[in-house]
Chain A
């Protein structure tokens, strides 16, 4: 079990290592990217149970934090049980699951990028010339629909110089960039890769053949 996990991580980091070569001509290679193996999960009874357990655990944790560990469990416990049930009703378990062991890597990527983003905005704001050259880009999204795409759109808005504006039916993401001189396609690509890893999806740069 452990060995299998490690193997999977090695495979994933192998993809990560190959990445820069692909990134260099990201725009040229763009449409060829595709999700190779979506390690999807069939939504069966087990996934409902595990989703419930996970959400209940999360909510109990939140209650512990909110109540300042005073332990007013007579109120918190029934509330968490109820809220977890309601959350399942409102948002049934999806096909995609976060890989918890990837969380620290993703958090590191995210924190570093938001630091850069804040710095970038500060530099532009404080410069007397106000160096802005905004443009709108349309970039195809290769991540599958659902949670991964939502993550992508939210995270992009917090990256340096990018803001997701909308996603159309052909899964083309409209991105507003602060400066056309930034290599936005490459950073969006990198973000997609990070999110793919977070969800245990495999993205390949090999010839997929589908051109838009």
Chain B
């Protein structure tokens, strides 16, 4: 039992960590396109980890399935939304940010 609690705690904290990273990415990344990257990837993983963490404590099968359904919906929703924002930005001629000579790293 204690092992499951431990695993649940780790999953939940890791999930929150990715949410924090996603928000930080939105603040630090230089343009719309890179921010979409940060948002869709980090937040989806964060939500996934939180969902799996909560799954371990789910009281019944329908509740567990509902959690998975919500995650799946959020995945499709944010991938679609990210694509739409990127496409709209491109159509409006927003120039992608370029690394200065040599770039970061």
Contact = CB atoms under 8 A, between A and B. Distances in A.
Interface string B18-41: 100110110011110110111011
B15 to A, nearest CB: 10
A131 B21 CA distance: 15
List the 4 closest A-B pairs by CB distance, nearest first: A118-B45, A131-B105, A133-B103, A125-B25
Interface of B is mostly: helix
Interface stretch (A17-25, A31-39, A74-82, A161-169): A161-169
B95 to A, nearest CB: 10
A178 B37 contact: yes
23 contacts: A62-B69, A65-B66, A68-B60, A118-B21, A120-B41, A121-B25, A121-B38, A122-B17, A122-B18, A122-B42, A125-B24, A125-B42, A126-B24, A132-B34, A133-B104, A134-B33, A134-B34, A154-B83, A155-B79, A164-B86, A166-B86, A166-B87, A174-B90
A117 interface: yes
A126 B22 CA distance: 10
A165 B90 contact: yes
Contacts of A130: 28-30, 104
Interface of A: 62, 64-69, 111, 114-115, 117-118, 120-122, 124-126, 129-136, 153-155, 157-158, 160-161, 163-166, 174, 176, 178
Contact of A131 (B22, B31, B104): B104
